[in-house]
Amino acid sequence: MNNRKKTYQTLASVAAVGGSLYAMNAAATKLTKSLLYRHHKEDDRPSLLESRYQCENILINNNEGVKLRGLFINQDNAQQTLVILHPYALEAKDMSLYVPFLKEYIKDSHILLVDACAHGQSDGYIRGLGIKDVNDLVCWNQYLLGRFGKEHQLVLFGKECGANTILNAAGKHVLKNVKAIISDGAYTSPQQILGYRLVQDYKIPKMPMLLLLQRKIKRAVHINIKEDTTNYVKHNDIPTLYIHLKNDDFVPLKMGYPLYNANRGKKELFVLKDEKYLYELDSKSEMIKDFKQFIDQYVNC
């Protein structure tokens, strides 16, 4: 989680900047570099996830020749794979606590936890912000169908930026054989979540900082942070479960409603009132019964 902390530290330093245009431009340049670039790849660290589930280390190349890493948990005779995508600035291993929870309800499924480009043990130094990452998700989709056959099915689970990657891809209709999507804590657009964090955490006015960030990021890596997932889910016809925390301290609940309302296909929305994470749901609660019902209807079928 060090990369995420470093980004927050950069935001904190931006908060100290005065109101002059020169100072604001310099701060926007610094923040752009912190948001976009990974300056070095940390050494791989052993994890309980790998030792408990005897993960297979998988490496593939994306369309730009960048090596991507995934951790694969085999399930004998499985006809589907659950793909798990992590939040911005975290990595696959940070999703380890979701694995036993999801394995309990999603039956007879392989599990693939993916390190996004410029995260974890994947190569690359430019982060995709849930936008460029769509192309990498397609590569993983192709890998799984190539390995297990064209009839193999997928279930996609994403947290925050990982959820946006999945929803953007679903709306673009670039994925094959996806039975269902579980979106946990998705936001509407990179621009809106950045603006929210600037105001909420550091009391910095959105403008002109967001405008400066938008221009610098687009010029540097051709990513438009105004790209809105709400526009993509209008074309999403994959059954989708939207999950959001009532008191989410990173992505506000108010960003979950536009996504759910705009989604074209079959959908459900769960608002977790007391839990901080999905895997904290009480196995006897009404919410878990509804979660199981969605899984049984669209996944375990």
| Residues 81/109, Cβ–Cβ less than 8 Å | yes
Residue 10, pLDDT score? 57
Query: Residues of 90-125 as b/e, b for ≥16 C-beta within 10 angstroms?
Result: bbbbbbbebbebbeebbeebbbbbbbbbbbbbbbbe
Residue 282, pLDDT score? 85
CA distance 146 to 140: 10
Query: Residues of 230-251 as b/e, b for ≥16 C-beta within 10 angstroms?
Result: bebbeebebbbbbbbbeebebb
The C-alpha R_g of the chain, in whole angstroms, comes to 19
Residue 45, pLDDT score? 85
**Phi and psi, residue 161, nearest 5°:** -60, -35
Residue 203, pLDDT score? 78
* pLDDT by 10-residue block (mean), the chain, 301 residues: 55 54 86 91 87 94 97 96 97 95 95 98 97 98 98 98 98 98 98 91 82 95 96 98 94 97 96 91 88 94 78
Q: Specify the pairing of strand 240-245 against strand 178-184.
A: parallel
Residue 7, pLDDT score? 59
**Phi and psi, residue 109, nearest 5°:** -135, 135
**Phi and psi, residue 69, nearest 5°:** -115, 140
Residue 3, pLDDT score? 58
Give the Å distances, CA to CA, from 253 to 110, 147, 250.
31, 38, 9
pTM: 0.93
